[in-house]
């Protein structure tokens, strides 16, 4: 659970791939191309929608920055939702 994107959809790459960062109770990471984004969200909402609100999130989804998605980077303010100070 050290990943900032845990339980989130992320837009990836120039080809509009959708990546689901599930892990743990929210299933494995899953990927879908531009044509199958709706299929992926429908599948995740059907199977994991009762475990939390994460599968029900609507776009626009965040895009990852270079350097990984760790809690430390979120604390440094490199990702939305992170604070602007380091601990």
Residue 82 has pLDDT above 50, yes or no: no
Which secondary structure element, helix H or strand E, spans residue 73, and what is its range?
helix 71-75
Tens digits of residue pLDDT in 25-73: 888 999 999 999 999 999 999 999 999 888 898 878 877 665 555 555 5
84 pLDDT more than 80: no
Q: Beta partners for 21? A: 8
75 falls in which pLDDT band (50, 70, 90)? low
* 21 within 8 A of 6, measured Cβ to Cβ: yes
């Amino acid at each position: 659970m050290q990943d900032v994107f845990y339980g989130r959809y992320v837009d990836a790459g120039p080809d509009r791939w959708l990546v689901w960062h599930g892990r743990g109770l929210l299933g494995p990471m899953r990927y879908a191309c531009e044509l199958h984004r709706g299929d992926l969200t429908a599948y995740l909402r059907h199977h994991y929608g009762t475990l939390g609100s994460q599968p029900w999130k609507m776009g626009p989804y965040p895009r990852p920055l270079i350097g990984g998605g760790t809690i430390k980077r979120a604390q440094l303010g490199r990702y939305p939702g992170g604070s602007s100070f380091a601990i």
